[in-house]
Amino acid sequence: MKVRVLYSGGQDSSLSAVLLEPFFDVELVTCSFGSASWRHAGRAAEAIGFPFRVLKLSPEVMEGCIDLMLKYGYPRYGINYVHLKALEAAAKGGGYVADGTRRDDHSPALTMAEVKSLEMRLDVQYIRPLAGYGRHAIDALVKQHFEIVEGPAIEKSDYESEIRSSIIEKYGKETVSRLFPQEHPQSRVMRRLQK
Amino acid sequence: MKVRVLYSGGQDSSLSAVLLEPFFDVELVTCSFGSASWRHAGRAAEAIGFPFRVLKLSPEVMEGCIDLMLKYGYPRYGINYVHLKALEAAAKGGGYVADGTRRDDHSPALTMAEVKSLEMRLDVQYIRPLAGYGRHAIDALVKQHFEIVEGPAIEKSDYESEIRSSIIEKYGKETVSRLFPQEHPQSRVMRRLQK
Residues whose CB falls within 8 Å of the CB of residue A139, separated by 6 or more in sequence, listed in order: none
Encode pLDDT of B75-106 as tens digits.
999 999 999 999 999 999 889 999 999 999 88
Residues paired with residue B148 on neighbouring β-strands, in sequence order: B189
Q: Does A144 touch chain B (CB under 8 A)?
A: yes
Which residue among A126, A133, A140 places its CB closest to the CB of B134? A126
Q: Does A127 touch chain B (CB under 8 A)?
A: yes
Q: Does B165 touch chain A (CB under 8 A)?
A: no
* Yes or no, beta carbons of B127 and A127 under 8 Å apart: no
Q: Domain-by-domain residue ranges, chain B?
A: 2-192
Helix (H, G, I), strand (E, B) or coil at B85: helix
Encode pLDDT of B154-181 as tens digits.
777 778 889 999 999 999 999 999 998 8
Shortest Cα distance, chain A CAs vs residue B102, angstroms: 9
Edge-to-edge strands, sheet with A95-98: A52-56, A25-32, A2-6, A95-98, A124-127
Assign a CATH topology to domain A2-192: Rossmann fold (3.40.50)
Is the pLDDT at B36 greater than 90? The verdict is no
- Predicted ipTM of the assembly: 0.94
What is the pLDDT tens value at each position of chain A, 195 positions in all?
999 999 999 999 999 999 999 999 999 999 999 888 889 999 999 999 999 999 999 999 999 999 999 999 999 999 999 999 999 999 998 899 999 999 998 889 999 999 999 999 999 999 999 999 999 999 999 999 999 998 877 777 778 889 999 999 999 999 999 998 877 778 999 999 975
Residues paired with residue A146 on neighbouring β-strands, in sequence order: A192
Give the nearest chain A residue to B120 (CA atoms): A136
DSSP letters spanning B123-161: TEEEE-TTTT--HHHHHHHHHHHEEEEEETT-----HHH
Cis peptide before B108 (omega within 30 of 0): yes
List CB contacts (< 8 A) between A115 and chain B. Answer: 134
Cα A78-A79-A84 angle, rounded to 5 deg: 100
Give the HSE-up count for residue B5: Cα atoms under 13 Å, Cβ half-sphere. Answer: 31
Return the percentage of chain A with pLDDT > 90, whole number: 83
pTM of the model: 0.95
Which residue among A22, A127, A136 places its CB closest to the CB of B132? A127
Q: Give the β-pairing of B25-32 and B2-6.
A: parallel
Chain A interface mutation, best of B4, B20, B23, highest count of A Cβ atoms under 10 Å: B23
